[in-house]
Amino acid sequence: MPDEVPECCRGVVYASRTEALRHIEEGIEPKSMAEAKLKQDLAEAKQQIQQLTARVQAAEQKAERAEEKADQAEKKAAELEEIALSDKL
């Protein structure tokens, strides 16, 4: 058995010798690597959710401002229409 640890095994914790051999010979990731990857994926997903939530909130605020401007424009148009009708009378 070689004394040198293969690169793929450095820093990896194995539950058993069988798990280590499967990793080396068959390329099957040990539980510790899979768990670490899942934790990293989860952290990245949470970060993406936060970013998307911020974008949604910004879009909602922009839509609210657009609705307010549209309401103001409708009121102004109604006022101008009233003025135009009263001028015709």
Segment 52-76 mean pLDDT? 97
Task: State residue 24's pLDDT score.
Answer: 86
Q: Which of 8, 19, 15, 12 is nearest to 36 (CA)?
A: 12
**Are 69 and 54 in contact, with CB atoms under 8 Å apart?**
no
**Alpha-carbon span 52 to 18, nearest angstrom:** 43
Instruction: Check whether 18 has a pLDDT greater than 70.
Output: yes
Q: Which two tokens stand for residue 18?
A: 């069988």
Task: State residue 3's pLDDT score.
Answer: 64
The per-residue pLDDT of the chain, averaged, comes to 89
Instruction: Check whether 88 has a pLDDT greater than 80.
Output: no
pTM of structure:
0.57
Instruction: Check whether 8 has a pLDDT greater than 60.
Output: yes
